[in-house]
Homo-oligomer: A and B are copies of this chain.
Amino acid sequence: MKIDDQTTYSSILCDIQSEIQPEFGKGKVANYIPALANVDPRKFGMAVCTIHGGEWLCGDATERFSIQSISKLFTLLLALQEVGADALWKRVGREPSGSAFNSLVLLEAEKGIPRNPFINAGALVVTDSLVEHFSDPIRHVLAWICELTGDNNIRVDDDVVRSEAACGFTNAAIANFLKAHGNLHAEVMPVLETYYQHCGLSMSCLDLARAVLPLANQGISIRTRNALMPSARARRINSLMLTCGLYEGVGNFAFRVGIPAKSGVGGGIVGVVPGKLTICVWSPELDEAGNSLVGTKALELFIGKTGLSIF
């Protein structure tokens, strides 16, 4: 199959959209905050962007949704760029955690060093490094996403932020615990606020697929031709997504789908096929591990149809 053929991708996305219909209703929309619980569970979109500039869409691919934990990928890239890798990797590990994304158990056993930057504890450390480094961290996150996507209209959804702040007790527990172990340098409150802000970013499948395209292209923006990160970093972040990007479902996702990806409880999953393309899917119903149930199925179908597994 000639995978860069525009017609082919269109029909593949189209086929997937009909094939995943029986999956709706099997998962549960994230209900811990009203702003997420109110999303229509039947929403479904996909976007594919190739490193040669091709873009394919289907369904609700241009509707913006709450990216939640997918934002951890952007803050990590920004922190590595601006704060530095050496400092950051002393404060957070790179190993899968084997436990839930919001667990405190390992954190206690390991004296405040989170297992990886994609569990909440690790992402809070990354956010802390941005809060420490920038006087207005969320502005820099937005500027960075603009640089990745070329779109300066991406915004934080304040309703989501307020909603999360109002009931984010587990994250407050984790942040305080990190502080108790000396692994939060800024004050707890501004770190949590910035964390809720970047989790509350609204982006569409197309926005997200564009934003991670440099990860498929050795760190280079296909839009500006600028190197947004060293190629080695792009590869490493891809590996980190593969081993840690899908919470407790990381092994099964790699087994079934076979590409680096990062998910969020808003129902988005963004994936990278190094050297080829990026893909983003959105469907709000989640499986038990907190990953989009229909989205995972859609990605499995896409990789099956295209043979683009990295394995």
Contacts and interface: CB of A to CB of B under 8 A. Distances in A.
Contacts of A96: 95-96, 98, 243, 250-251
Interface of A: 93-99, 103-106, 108-109, 115-116, 169-170, 172-177, 179-180, 188, 234-236, 238-240, 242-244, 248-252, 254-255, 258, 260, 274, 309-311
Nearest to A274: B311
B173 A235 contact: no
Contacts of A255: 94, 236, 239-240, 243
Contacts of A104: 104-105, 108, 173, 177
B252 A95 contact: yes
Given A243-B242, A251-B95, A251-B116, A177 B188 contact: no
A-B interface, 6 closest residue pairs, ranked by CB to CB distance from nearest: A98-B98, A169-B180, A95-B251, A238-B311, A173-B176, A96-B96
A250 B93 CA distance: 12
Contact of A103 (B97, B108, B116, B174): B108
Contacts of A243: 96, 242-243, 250-251, 254-255
B173 A180 contact: yes
